[in-house]
């Protein structure tokens, strides 16, 4: 994707542009870009500023661009605060993020491969049954899903947070489409050597599809880490709160100091910033492939 971008640049005639502003607007375009960059980065700056401020710096009657001094001790204070199960919430989020992503990719890739490659009489019907679930808007199913999970006794447990989210019809659909386009020649070579479906899938198909897996993994992990409604519904006990639920709860309960809360925010976006730094290409690829963030 990044390479395609480089080769198909702007058309030859200089100033013959796609934008309504055309040539006259060059200066305007740079001003607009600059303003947009400042507005988009401002919230990140506010997180950093407040995370490294004292409480009185944040709530001072006159707002200042910089805090009076950098308060690195906030991070120690955050984890030492016994009212706030922040370490526990981070652990829960990490488990949900990692296991949820691994499980979803494993299940969806296997289902997608089966649908794309294993001849079976009812494969079409199964495929339509999977696609049909895409019609149901995700967020309105939280009540029925809660009913099922609570009947299983999984409320306030990591099982309840993770397992119901593993079966993404959309991911299975994407994998099927991807595997339909996977070069058959690669698989045939392994088949001639006597490998079965399982061997071909694990030794040939998966290793040769790592960029696709990386793209979906980046998106799925971010989605899991940021998920709020489902963890809020399931996390009825503070031991099962994810970082998002913990932050949300403490803002309304007022039992946390504002500088600690902003330090929590800074800590919570750290994994995402890392993913962004190292996997940005895959992330963008995944977004354009799926067109859906959740």
Partner 1 sequence: MSSTVKTRTDPASSGERRGGRRQKGIKGNALWFWVFVGPFVIGLLVFSYLPIIWSLVLSFFEAYNTATPSKFVGLQNYVDMLTDQNFLSSLGTFTIFAVFIVPLTFVLSLALALLVNQVKIARAFFRSVFFLPTACSYVVASLIWKLSIFNGVRFGLANTILGWFGIDNIAWLSTVSPPWYWLPLVTVRLWLQLGFYMILFIAGLQRISPTLYEAAYVDGAKPGWQVFRYITLPQLRATSVAVLILNLIAAYQAFDEFYNLIGNVNYARPPLVYLYGISLGSIQDLGHGSAGALILAVIIMLVTLLQSRIFGFGKAGD
Residues 199-238 close enough to bind partner 1 by CB under 8 A: 201, 222, 225-229, 232-233
| Site membership for partner 1, residue 146 (CB under 8 A) | yes
Work out how close the CB of 109 gets to partner 1 at its nearest, in angstroms, rounded to a whole number.
Answer: 9
Provide Rg for the chain, Cα atoms: 24
CA distances to 141, 164, 172, 246 from 144, rounded to whole Å, are 6, 12, 22, 24
| Site membership for partner 1, residue 29 (CB under 8 A) | yes
Residues 115-134 vs partner 1: string with x where CB under 8 A?
x-xxxxx-x--x--xx--x-
H helical segments located in 181-254: 184-192, 197-200, 210-226, 229-234, 243-253
Among 94, 98, 102, 258, contact with partner 1 (rule: CB under 8 A):
258
CA 94 – CA 268 distance, rounded (Å): 10
| Site membership for partner 1, residue 11 (CB under 8 A) | yes
Among 52, 84, 89, 108, contact with partner 1 (rule: CB under 8 A):
108
| Site membership for partner 1, residue 92 (CB under 8 A) | no
Among 4, 27, 128, 207, contact with partner 1 (rule: CB under 8 A):
4
| Site membership for partner 1, residue 31 (CB under 8 A) | no
Neighbouring residues of 131: CB distance < 8 A, sequence distance ≥ 6: 169, 173
Using the rule CB under 8 A, give the single segment among 1-9, 69-77, 80-88, 202-210 that binds partner 1.
Answer: 1-9
Quick one: 5 or 207, whose CB is closer to partner 1? 5
CA distances to 71, 268, 293 from 119, rounded to whole Å, are 63, 45, 31
What is the distance of C-alpha 246 from the center of its chain? 18
Q: What residues between 164 and 203 interact with partner 1 by CB under 8 A?
A: 164, 166-167, 169, 172, 184, 188, 191-192, 194-198, 201
| Site membership for partner 1, residue 254 (CB under 8 A) | no
| Site membership for partner 1, residue 261 (CB under 8 A) | yes
Quick one: 87 or 148, whose CB is closer to partner 1? 148
Among 67, 144, 153, 239, contact with partner 1 (rule: CB under 8 A):
144
Neighbouring residues of 292: CB distance < 8 A, sequence distance ≥ 6: 170
The position carrying tokens 């006259």 is 24
Using the rule CB under 8 A, give the single segment among 81-89, 94-102, 109-117, 204-212 that binds partner 1.
Answer: 109-117
Neighbouring residues of 260: CB distance < 8 A, sequence distance ≥ 6: 74, 77, 78, 81, 84
Cβ–Cβ < 8 Å for 87, 238: no
Among 46, 180, 186, 210, contact with partner 1 (rule: CB under 8 A):
46
| Site membership for partner 1, residue 142 (CB under 8 A) | yes
- Cα angle for residues 239, 159, 144 (degrees, 5° grid): 105
């Amino acid at each position: 994707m990044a390479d395609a971008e480089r080769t198909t640049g702007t058309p030859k005639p200089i100033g013959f542009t796609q934008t309504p502003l055309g040539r006259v607007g060059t200066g305007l375009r740079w001003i607009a870009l600059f303003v947009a960059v400042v507005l988009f980065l401002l919230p990140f700056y506010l997180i950093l500023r407040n995370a490294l401020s004292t409480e009185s710096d944040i709530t001072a009657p006159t707002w200042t661009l910089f805090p009076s001094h950098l308060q690195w001790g906030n991070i120690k204070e955050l984890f030492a605060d016994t009212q706030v199960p922040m370490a526990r919430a981070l652990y829960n989020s990490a488990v949900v993020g990692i296991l949820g992503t691994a499980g979803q990719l494993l299940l969806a890739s296997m289902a997608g491969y089966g649908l794309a490659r294993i001849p079976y009489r009812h494969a079409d019907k199964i495929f339509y049954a999977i696609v049909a679930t895409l019609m149901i808007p995700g967020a309105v199913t939280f009540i029925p899903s809660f009913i099922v999970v609570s009947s299983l006794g999984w409320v306030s447990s990591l099982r309840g947070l993770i397992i119901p989210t593993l079966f993404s019809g959309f991911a299975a659909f994407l994998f099927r489409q991807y595997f339909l386009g996977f070069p058959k020649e690669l698989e045939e070579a392994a088949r001639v050597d006597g490998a079965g479906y399982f061997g071909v899938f694990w030794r040939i198909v998966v290793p040769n599809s790592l960029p696709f897996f990386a793209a979906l993994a980046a998106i799925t992990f971010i989605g899991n880490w940021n998920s709020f409604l489902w963890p809020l519904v399931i996390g009825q006990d503070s031991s099962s709160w994810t970082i998002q639920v913990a932050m949300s709860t403490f803002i309304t309960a007022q039992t946390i100091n504002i500088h600690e809360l902003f330090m929590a925010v800074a800590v919570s976006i750290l994994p995402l910033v890392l993913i962004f730094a190292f996997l940005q290409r895959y992330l963008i690829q995944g977004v354009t492939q799926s067109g859906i963030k959740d």
